[in-house]
Amino acid sequence: MAAVVDQPFPIAVLVSGGGTNLQALLDTVHGHEASIVAVASSVDGARALERASAQGLPTAVFSRADYETRTARDEALAGWLAGHGARLVVLAGYMELLGSAFLDRFPGAVINVHPSLLPAFPGLHAIEQALAYGVKVFGVTVHFVDPGVDSGPVILQRAIELAAPGDADEVLRALRPLEHSLLPQAVRLFAHGALKADPKNPRRVLIEQ
């Protein structure tokens, strides 16, 4: 049975762009099931940082170019988030890979939202990949992050049918409401301790109500 959350669960959010998924978290779970305690970006000047600052949240930029290695960047980023008390890290449009130096600091507690029905079309330009393949059904996946590229266990998925999709921007606009619904839902479930690995298949995530 899922646990009752007495206090908002502390989460950190990683961003790289406009921050619409961050805004969805701010509008739904922040101050309720969860508390966003830190927001970090891979890009200086990202619109998402403005959204976070407007809410008085701690922000920082960890650009890969500022560190000799990705491992050094990951260690610095993980240390900053842990210093703010984060117990779950949410990748909300974060366009960088995270290695073991980061993931080992937050074992089983890093999730990502991806604009495809994984395992189809992982990595960058997922929507463009799907359009090139000619699919009629598009979707969104929230999954745990592992050392691979969008290869961690799936938490939630939702699909929509677009019989005559236009360009990638049009498809993304259609997928945004799914992202903005699924990501807060996954955070709520994690905060309540409702996500468990299936003992028969560790890649399968069970949801306890």
Q: What is the pLDDT of residue 201?
A: 95
> For 193-202, how does the pLDDT look when each residue is reduced to its tens digit (9 = 90+)?
999 999 999 8
The C-alpha atoms of residue 163 and residue 143 are separated, in whole angstroms, by 26
Threshold 0.85, pTM exceeds: yes
The residue among 202, 175, 187, 17 whose CA lies nearest residue 95 is 17
Do 98 and 71 meet the contact criterion of CB atoms below 8 Å apart? no
Task: Name residue 188's beta-bridge partners.
Answer: none
- CA 89 vs CA 19, 84, 173, 174, 201: distances in Å: 15, 12, 25, 26, 24
Res 5 pLDDT > 90: no
Q: What is the average pLDDT score of the chain?
A: 95
User: Can you give the C-alpha Rg of the chain in angstroms?
Assistant: 17
Res 4 pLDDT > 60: no
Q: What is the pLDDT of residue 3?
A: 58
Q: Which residue has the tokens 């409401």?
A: 177
Q: What is the pLDDT of residue 209?
A: 77
Do 141 and 124 meet the contact criterion of CB atoms below 8 Å apart? no
Q: Structural domains in the chain?
A: 9-207 (3.40.50.170)
pLDDT grade, residue 2 (50/70/90)? low
Do 194 and 209 meet the contact criterion of CB atoms below 8 Å apart? yes
Q: What is the pLDDT of residue 51?
A: 97
The C-alpha atoms of residue 153 and residue 106 are separated, in whole angstroms, by 16
Catalytic residues: 114
% of the chain with per-residue pLDDT over 70: 97
> For 94-123, how does the pLDDT look when each residue is reduced to its tens digit (9 = 90+)?
999 999 999 999 999 999 999 999 999 999
Q: What is the pLDDT of residue 75?
A: 97
Do 17 and 93 meet the contact criterion of CB atoms below 8 Å apart? yes
Q: What is the pLDDT of residue 114?
A: 98
DSSP state of 197: E
